[in-house]
Amino acid sequence: MSELLAELKNQLETQSKSIDEKLASMALLSEAKQKEEIKSLEGKMSDYLKVSDEFAKVSEEVKGLKDAMVSLEQKGVKMQEAVQVKSLGQTMTQSEQFKSWMDGRTQKARVELKNTIVNSGNDTSRHDQMAGVVPGAFRMLNVMGTVTRGSTDSNIVYYSKENAWTSNAAGVAENGDKPESSLTFDEVSTEIKTIAHVIKVSKQALADSTFLSSYIDRRMSHGINNKIEQQIIAGDGTGQNFSGWTASGNSTAVSVGSATNFFDYTNALKYAVIAAEYSADVYYVNPADWSAAEQLKIGTGDSRYVGADGAINYINGGLQPTLWGLPVVLSNNIPANTVICKSYDADMFIDRESTIVEMFEQDGDNVTKNLITIRAEARGAECVFVPAAIVTADLSTLP
């Protein structure tokens, strides 16, 4: 900025000197010559005024900078000069001892480096804190999206279920008696269960990290939804557990029979659902079991994959696998060595209260320890309507 001011000042002095010289010489010129000189002088005056305006603008900017610096100094803020860090080579070559050695005045140059600060331990550098938290693993909840959802305002869900249906429909002669069919129902009740957990966090931790509370909220919510998914699949119906698909009486186990591999067995599941007069809609498989099925080869000396001959396909750019024409849902919540094939109409998850995350200070000794209790909970029930429409296979029984 000072160099710019000096340059503008020189321009002003040069223009002013030139104008003064012109005015002094004009008195000695003829009228015609004077007009010509006046015209030339007007051009110089225009340049002079332009330079003057630029000088005035720069002067105002300099004045503003000076005022800002004064204001900072009055507030006790000291402007820290940038520290010029020299390399070892620069320190050596710029020393007086090195110059003396180069001039031949000494036979050697010795430079002592005192209090040299290096950045190897990151002791003096200000750390750069990245926003957010690097999350841990969140299990993919693929099963929940395939389950029919319902809702209730009660703590118990009642529904009527067909018990037995006997159709005696037959051809009848004119004026003959019509055969009578029978249909009976049972009333079934399912209690609403509560899935919950808590975690304690210090108030300072929540106050010092704006992202921490939202991350904890996400982690707690995921924990609830993951447990609900596990209960829908494998809850045994005891205590506060859901009565899930694999609970006693809620599904139909298909024996291995004559099946010799994964594909024979899963094909039998599909047609077991169809044989029960329901639509086979989806398979549920543990990823480890699916990986083994994908790699199953035809046999010794034949490197072709069994599934590649049509049992396995992929749609949506390979994102959605299919098995025997049905979509496959891969989930770590499906027990290992278990495959489930079911109809979407076989069950329903009843949602009483969706996942809620709340914070409490008045809990135990939270006040004295400056802690916050975070609670997440949800209420619901799993209703299996048709056990015959949920069939399971135990892969461990394969030869």
Give percent of the chain with pLDDT exceeding 70: 70
Question: What pLDDT sits at residue 88?
Answer: 57
Cα(187)–Cα(163) distance, rounded to whole angstroms?
9
Q: What is the pLDDT of residue 211?
A: 76
| Digit-coded pLDDT (tens) for 189-207 | 999 999 999 999 988 888 7
CB atoms within 10 A of CB 340: 21
SS3 (DSSP) at 150:
strand
Average pLDDT on 145-167 reads 92
136 pLDDT band, cuts 50/70/90, is confident
Whole-structure pTM value: 0.65
- Among 305, 304, 322, 300, smallest CA distance to 313 is for 322
- Please report the DSSP string for 192-248 in residue order: -EEEEEEEEEEHHHHHH-HHHHHHHHHHHHHHHHHHHHHHHHH-BSSTT--B-TTST
Of 353, 347, 372, the closest CA to residue 362 belongs to 372
What are the Cα distances from residue 341, in Å, to 254, 262, 282?
A: 10, 13, 6
Task: Sort strands 312-315 and 302-305 into parallel, antiparallel or unpaired.
Answer: unpaired
By the 10 Å C-beta count (0-12 exposed, 13-18 middle, 19+ buried), 120 is classed as exposed
On average, the pLDDT of the chain sits at: 81
Quick check: 143 pLDDT over 90?
yes
| Range of lowest pLDDT (108-112, 208-212, 279-283, 334-338) | 108-112
pLDDT at 50: 60
Task: Give the Å distances, CA to CA, from 199 to 33, 206, 221.
Answer: 97, 13, 12
Please tell me the distance from the alpha carbon of residue 102 to that of residue 329, in angstroms, as a whole number: 79
Question: 108-122, 169-183, 228-242 — which is least confidently predicted?
Answer: 108-122
Looking at the predicted structure, is the pLDDT value of residue 232 above 60? Answer: yes
User: Does residue 79 register a pLDDT over 50?
Assistant: no
Asked if residue 343 has pLDDT above 70, the reply is yes
Is the pLDDT at 379 greater than 60? The verdict is yes
Q: Which two tokens stand for residue 189?
A: 């009740």
- What pLDDT score does 308 carry? 78
**Is pLDDT above 90 for 334?**
yes
Cα–Cα distance between 327 and 345 in angstroms, integer?
Answer: 16
CB 398 within 8 A of CB 256: yes
Helix (H, G, I), strand (E, B) or coil at 25: helix
Q: What is the pLDDT of residue 117?
A: 47
Cα–Cα distance measured from residue 307 to residue 324, given in angstroms and rounded to the nearest whole number: 10
Instruction: Report pLDDT for 46.
Output: 61
Q: Which residues pair with 356 in a beta bridge?
A: 377
Helix (H) / strand (E) containing 4: helix 2-26
Considering the domain delimited by 144-166+181-397, tell me its CATH architecture.
2-Layer Sandwich (3.30)
Instruction: Kindly indicate the confidence band of residue 7, based on its pLDDT and cuts at 50, 70 and 90.
Output: low
Report which of 36, 390, 48, 59 is spatially closest to residue 244, judged by C-alpha positions. Answer: 390
Query: 188 by DSSP, 3-state: which?
Result: strand
Residue type at 297? Answer: K
Which residue has better confidence, 171 or 56?
Answer: 171
The pLDDT value recorded for residue 20 is 62
More reliable by pLDDT, 164 or 69: 164
Exposed/middle/buried for residue 250 (C-beta within 10 Å: 0-12, 13-18, 19+): buried
Instruction: Write the DSSP string, 303-366.
Output: EEESGGGTTEEEETTTTEEEETTEEEEE-TTSPTTEEEEE-GGGEEEEEEEEEEEEEES-STTH
Q: What is the pLDDT of residue 129?
A: 66
pLDDT of residue 59: 67
- pLDDT on residue 110: 65
Q: Is the pLDDT of residue 3 over 50?
A: yes
Which helix (H) or strand (E) segment holds residue 149: the answer is strand 149-151
Percent of the chain surpassing pLDDT 90: 46
Domain ranges of the chain: 2-73, 144-166+181-397
What's the pLDDT band for 133 if we cut at 50, 70, 90?
Answer: confident
pLDDT at 203: 86
